Structure 1
Amino acid sequence: MTTRDPAGTRNRILDALETLLLEKGMAQVTLESVAAAAGVSKGGLLYHFKSKDALLAGLVRRLGRRTEEQVRTVVDSGQSVAEWYLQNPQHYDDADAHELALYRSMLAAMRTVDGPVDQSGDETDRALFEVLDSWKGVLDNEIEDPVDAEIIRLVGDGVYLRALLGMPPVDAEVYRQVVTRLTGGSSG
């Protein structure tokens, strides 16, 4: 007897979407291509996601859940959220599976953006805005000075943008010094 696993199917669809975005880009993402990559019918995909926008928003919301889980892990371990946010994605070779999943999800989500992200826009824009805004809140909670928190957020965003564009990473020693300076000497 076969049991249905809606969460498993839903994640398989989102994994397929993520892979298509990372390997081929947004132009190649259709409901049909995602369904084929996930090994489900188009009707099966539409059962879980009523439209392409809902599918993309589902990917971004999963990114949000992964981010919340990772932030909880960082906080529970006593680590600095700022240092975690400033991680250089190219150094994820040694990272655990959760960090790698978060990184892949973030890169895939960024590839869904085809214009300014508008919190009053479509479902995908709203979901991405919520995820990005939640990171700002976490940094604001840890860093007393709101300007320092914003600088850390902007540098972390820039690091991810470099990774998204496939640019080479900043020299590891220089980057360590950047993190140390931004976090008040607590890194190292």
Structure 2
Amino acid sequence: MTANTRDRILDALELLLLDKGMSHVTLESVAARAGVSKGGLLYHFKNKDALLAGLVRRLADRANQQLSDHMDRGQSVAGWYLQTPNPDDTVDAVELEIYRSMLATMRTIDAAAETADDEVQQALTEMMDNWSDGLDNEIDDPVHADIVRLVGDGVYLRALLGLPQIEPARYRRVVDRLLGHRGEPTTE
């Protein structure tokens, strides 16, 4: 089995979550959608909880790569965290992948909370802690870091829920204020 098989399995899980919801996710349904045997799926993920945690970890890897690229362009963690997700932006394939993965992951959170699954919760906690650590390391004032974190979370949640975004010019002013006018490009 190759890493491509692992990604096919996670893609199949993501599509099932987006198309049908958590109630339709079984090891058999994911394997069938991925075009692998159940044994092939179990080679990569020992059970359903490991499969769901794998989805969260892939999301974290994708987002961390996007953050790294953002920082390589001389931009800040806070600027990345405050960007507005645009699910209609097919030009930025990475952003679209992250958006879809985040939406699918949101559907696993409810199930993980209900079953008290430690592996999925741990993967989610690690992902969010990593981003929080980046903000805390960049912003001297912990309260300011929390405000950036909460604004970024709220903007992303609005997008995931399909709610209208804040008017772009107004949001640029919010970001400018939060970033302290560091001369960074603001979000659109």
Partners of 1:162 and 1:51 lie apart in 2 by 32
Partners of 1:115 and 1:30 lie apart in 2 by 13
Matched, 1:48 2:44: yes
Structure 1 stretches of 4+ moved >6 Å:
none
Q: Per-residue deviation at 1:94?
A: 6.0
- What one-letter code is carried by the residue in structure 2 that aligns with 1:72? S
- Matching residue of 1:70: 66
Partners of 1:124 and 1:94 lie apart in 2 by 29
Report matched runs for 1:14-163 at 5 Å.
14-90=10-86, 93=89, 96-114=92-110, 121-163=117-159
Matched, 1:13 2:9: yes
Choose 31-40 or 128-137, whichever is displaced more: 31-40
Choose 39-48 or 91-100, whichever is displaced more: 91-100
Q: Per-residue deviation at 1:92?
A: 5.8
Partners of 1:61 and 1:68 lie apart in 2 by 10
- Matching residue of 2:178: 182
Partners of 1:152 and 1:37 lie apart in 2 by 39
- What one-letter code is carried by the residue in structure 2 that aligns with 1:108? A
The DSSP-based 3-state class of the residue aligned with 1:111 is helix
Partners of 1:10 and 1:116 lie apart in 2 by 21
Partners of 1:116 and 1:59 lie apart in 2 by 13
> What are the superposed Cα offsets for residues 117-173 of structure 1, whole Å, 9 maximum, x if unpaired?
6xx951011001100110000111111111111111111111121122121222112
Q: Per-residue deviation at 1:68?
A: 2.0
Q: Conserved in 2, the CA contact under 8 Å of 1:60 and 1:109?
A: yes
- Matching residue of 1:166: 162
- Using the size of structure 2 for normalisation, the TM-score is 0.88
Q: Conserved in 1, the CA contact under 8 Å of 2:57 and 2:127?
A: yes
Identity %: 64
Partners of 2:29 and 2:169 lie apart in 1 by 42
Partners of 1:116 and 1:14 lie apart in 2 by 17
Q: Per-residue deviation at 1:116?
A: 7.9
Q: Conserved in 2, the CA contact under 8 Å of 1:107 and 1:164?
A: yes
Count of matched residue pairs: 183
